Amino acid sequence: MPPKKEERKPLEPMFPEIPLFYEYIDYSNEQMEQLNEYLNYFKPELSAMMKNNIFDNMEILCQTIGIARHPSFILPTQMIDLNDFDENTKFRNPEELDGDQVPQMIQINSIKIDLFTLRLLDYCAGVSGLTTIKMSNNGLTARQYQQIAAIINNPENKVKKLFIDWQQVNENFLQQVQQIEFLTLRSCQLTNQQIQTLTLNVQNLKCLDLYDNKLSKEALNLIGKMLGQNSLMEFLGLAKNGIQSFEDLQGITQSIGRFQMSQEEYDEYKTKEKERDAIIERNKKVKKKGTEELVPYLEPIQQIDNNWYVIKNSRLWLINLSMNQIDDQSRDAIEKFLLQTGENFQLVLMGNRFDDQKALQKTKKKFGKKLVL
């Protein structure tokens, strides 16, 4: 007779009683291993219980395991004003919500978050359709950053937008943000070393906000070097960083806008263009999807009169330099930069130290919507 199949254990809580209120617990590595074993063993049962809503799924997982839900995952009760009640209006069941109305973002503000909660978030983020995580003033530890890295690098998850604000940032974590497209690190006291680590690991980044980090000229140059290698950038936030002069941004501005090409540069570009087109043609003949060659990205070029120009970072449409220390001495450098940028580009300079308002308004009139004061 064939051996009997081992009967599965019934789905029971890890803990006998759910606490009435959430309390932060610093879980040990052993407890984390127990949680992982529990989630892996009961994956069939838990997967069948999941919905397409992060708040519902976190409630299901916490109740099943036997822990109190973190306050950030308790959806506020919607208040209904009976004076506005229309008897002809049918109240919709939350299960009937359209896909674009399902919450795709979670905010965790000014409260610590435990490792169990982060692990459960990783477990259900994908099926919940979560795309955005906002964390502010949480006092994150190295272990918590490690768990956040696991969330954003889990291939089953879809998190592409990450806000880490008002807290120290773990440098090892900055090595693991390659999948993120939208990243804010506001008021994080970033060092030159952290900026260097970050700029080497943002291949897919489209938006970067580094508000209030007191960035040095060296850090600004590192960002400029990143722009020279990453042509996906659309938004760069450098507000309130104590930038004294527009000249300090030369490492950045030389990687943005229209630049005349030499004959040698043009010939080299055309060679790369032929190589790229050959790859595209070869990929058309590939039968197995996913085995195509990587197509290199080439910045667009433009012919003006008899000269050719390369358009660097053509997707970048806004740089925010508000609340810095830039003054009237930088006006010529600002105008020179704006002349090399595209017509849809915007430079934000609100709250700087310009005294000559007449000259400033003259510059504003010259460039119109490209300059925001």
262 conformational bin, left if phi > 0, alpha if psi -120 to 50, beta if neither: beta
Q: Tens of pLDDT along 155-173?
A: 999 999 999 999 999 999 9
The domain containing residue 206 runs over which residues?
Answer: 168-262+298-373
Q: Is the pLDDT of residue 358 over 70?
A: yes
Give 90 or 357, the one with higher predicted confidence.
Answer: 357
Q: Is the pLDDT of residue 102 over 70?
A: no
Q: Is the pLDDT of residue 235 over 70?
A: yes
Which residues have C-beta within 8 Å of that of residue 302, sequence separation ≥ 6?
258, 308, 309, 311
* Residue 203: pLDDT band with limits 50, 70, 90: confident
* Residue 289: pLDDT band with limits 50, 70, 90: confident
The CA distance from 70 to 63, in Å, is 12
Number of separate domains in the chain: 1
Beta-bridged to residue 358, according to DSSP, are none
The rounded percent of the chain whose pLDDT value lies above 70 is: 91
Q: Is the pLDDT of residue 174 over 90?
A: yes
The pLDDT assigned to 5 comes to 62
The pLDDT assigned to 296 comes to 87
**pTM attached to this predicted model:** 0.88
Asked whether residue 249 is assigned to any structural domain, the reply reads yes
The CA distance from 237 to 208, in Å, is 6
Q: Is the pLDDT of residue 83 over 60?
A: no
Asked whether residue 342 is assigned to any structural domain, the reply reads yes
Q: Is the pLDDT of residue 95 over 50?
A: no
Q: Is the pLDDT of residue 90 over 50?
A: no
- Residue 365 sits in a domain whose CATH number is 3.80.10.10
Asked whether residue 198 is assigned to any structural domain, the reply reads yes
Of the listed ranges 45-49, 162-166, 280-284, 332-336, the least confidently predicted one is 280-284
Asked whether residue 144 is assigned to any structural domain, the reply reads no
* Residue 276: pLDDT band with limits 50, 70, 90: very high
CB under 8 A, 24+ apart: contacts of 333-337: 333/245, 333/246, 333/247, 334/246, 334/363, 334/371, 335/363, 335/366, 335/367, 337/246, 337/253, 337/256, 337/257
User: What is the pLDDT of the chain when averaged over all its residues?
Assistant: 91
Beta-bridged to residue 105, according to DSSP, are 132
The CA distance from 32 to 111, in Å, is 21
Which class for 153: exposed (0-12), middle (13-18), buried (19 or more C-beta within 10 A)?
middle
Q: Tens of pLDDT along 311-346?
A: 999 999 999 999 999 999 999 999 999 999 999 999
Asked whether residue 314 is assigned to any structural domain, the reply reads yes
Q: Is the pLDDT of residue 292 over 90?
A: no
Work out whether the CA dihedral 56, 62, 67, 72 comes out positive or negative: negative
Q: Tens of pLDDT along 136-146?
A: 999 999 999 99
CB distance 274 to 355 below 8 Å: no
Q: Is the pLDDT of residue 368 over 80?
A: yes
Asked whether residue 222 is assigned to any structural domain, the reply reads yes
The pLDDT assigned to 93 comes to 41
Asked whether residue 18 is assigned to any structural domain, the reply reads no
Asked whether residue 98 is assigned to any structural domain, the reply reads no
Q: What is the mean pLDDT of residues 265-288?
A: 92
Give 358 or 288, the one with higher predicted confidence.
Answer: 358
Reading the block at residue 238, the tokens are: 């450098």
Of the listed ranges 20-34, 224-238, 260-274, 276-290, the least confidently predicted one is 276-290
Give 75 or 298, the one with higher predicted confidence.
Answer: 298
